[in-house]
């Protein structure tokens, strides 16, 4: 069980990093100049963010069931 808890904690840390990176990418979008097809990518970014949210809920739910909580340390 400790292995599963460690896995969930590591996964949540990775998800946090992925969300942070995705947020940075979105902040770079220049909708007025669509040289890089950013409008198309925006939908992809939204989809990725929703998926990350589902994963996060699953791992956090598991940790809550185990009486654990995830705290990201920066």
Q: Give the number of domains in the chain.
A: 1
Contacts of 13 by beta carbon, 8 Å cutoff, 6+ apart: 72
Asked if the structure places residue 72 within a domain, the reply is no
Residue 50 lies in a domain: yes
Domain around 58: 2-65
> What is the torsion angle, in degrees rounded to the nearest 10, for the CA atoms of residue 45, residue 47, residue 48 and residue 51?
160
What's the pLDDT tens digit per position in 7-60? 999 999 999 999 999 999 888 887 777 778 777 888 899 999 999 999 999 999
Nearest partner of 65 among 24, 15, 5, 19, judged by Cα: 5
* Residue 23 lies inside a defined structural domain of this protein: yes
Q: How far apart are the first and last CA of the chain?
A: 26
Is the confidence at residue 5, as pLDDT, over 80? yes
Within its chain, how far is the Cα of 70 from the centroid?
14
- Has residue 71 got a pLDDT over 70? no
């Amino acid at each position: 069980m400790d292995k599963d808890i460690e896995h969930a904690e590591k996964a949540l840390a990775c998800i946090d990093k992925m969300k942070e990176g995705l947020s940075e990418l979105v902040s770079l979008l220049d909708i007025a100049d669509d040289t890089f097809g950013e409008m198309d990518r925006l939908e992809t970014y939204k989809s990725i963010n929703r998926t990350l949210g589902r994963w996060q809920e699953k791992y956090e739910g598991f940790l809550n069931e185990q009486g654990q909580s995830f705290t990201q340390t920066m």
